[in-house]
Amino acid sequence: MNVLPQTLFNGVTIGSIYAVIAVGLNLVLGVLGVVNFAQGEFYMLGAFIVYIFFFMGFPYWVCILFALLIITVVGVITNQLVIKPILRKSFTTQILATLGLSLLLQNTALMIWGPTPREIPVPLTYKQITVLHAVGIYSTYQRLLVIISGLVLFKALDLFVKRTKMGKAIRAVSQNKEACLIVGIDLNRICLVSFCISVALAAIAGGLIGPITLIAPIMGSIILLKAFALVVMGGMGNIKGSIFSGYILGLVESFTAVYVASIWKDGVAFLALTVFLLVKPEGIFGHRRREF
């Protein structure tokens, strides 16, 4: 049996999640100039919020909406209490603050839900898309939903930053903060909106991947490391580069799992990222640029 179509499909599925996480991380880096080590924890919390509301009897799409709204509110609070006070602090202070937030959220989740992985038994996870069997792809509707949702999110973000007044202000701040201050752009408001978009993307990603994989309080740690590498690989501040890099990493992992061994997929992925960054540290597009 030809496993290539299935391998490609699986790679694009997980690549969609990587891309969404990396885009959110890059958005905060490009606009606020802060490396958010807690991004993985917002991803984890999004998955657990969906888990809670799903077992309360709410439809899956409503659970995703709850995760989006709750994490956005948490993002507002986090921005005011943690992010805003460190914007003009040293890079070391920013790292310690966001790393401390990451540990706080992760350990709080461990206290509430424990270390045991949990399952979100969404019906879409078990329903096969039979029409794809003809081309050698055996997938559930949940995996297709992940791919489609990723594309919709990227298009929505692109339209937002290019067509709306707020989006254009975000682009301007990412390129020249001093000039934005001169023309009267409210930097605090722009930073707040950017951070909330970032954590909301992470929450949606967690809610989408939760039914496919088991969820646990430590699930954000590994994906955060990959997201950081993807940000550098795609170019710091370059959103399109993060999207492209996310899909590449997903495909590398998928092909490794099929043609080498699934146990090696993370190792090979990190090795490939390391080699790429050594050979081309400026990123895929040749030079570091802040572009949306």
String of DSSP letters for the chain: ---HHHHHHHHHHHHHHHHHHHHHHHHHHHHT----TTHHHHHHHHHHHHHHHHHTT--HHHHHHHHHHHHHHHHHHHIIIIIHHHTTS-HHHHHHHHHHHHHHHHHHHHHHH-SS-B----GGGT-B-GGGGGGT---BHHHHHHHHHHHHHHHHHHHHHHHSHHHHHHHHHHH-HHHHHHTT--HHHHHHHHHHHHHHHHHHHHHHHTTTS-B-TTHHHHHHHHHHHHHHHH-TTBHHHHHHHHHHHHHHHHHHHHHT-GGGHHHHHHHHHHHHHHH-TT-TTSS---B-
Convert the pLDDT of each residue in 82-120 to its tens digit: 999 998 888 899 999 999 999 999 999 999 999 999 999
Whole-number mean pLDDT of the chain? 90
Please, which pLDDT band fits residue 285 given cuts at 50, 70 and 90? low
Instruction: Report pLDDT for 273.
Output: 79
Q: What percent of the chain has pLDDT over 70?
A: 97
Q: What is the mean pLDDT of residues 71-85?
A: 96
More confident residue, 246 or 232: 246
Is the pLDDT at 224 greater than 60, yes or no?
yes
Convert the pLDDT of each residue in 205-214 to its tens digit: 999 999 999 9
Convert the pLDDT of each residue in 134-193 to its tens digit: 888 888 899 999 999 999 999 999 999 999 999 999 999 988 888 888 888 889 999 999
Domains of the chain and CATH, by start: 4-279 (1.10.3470)
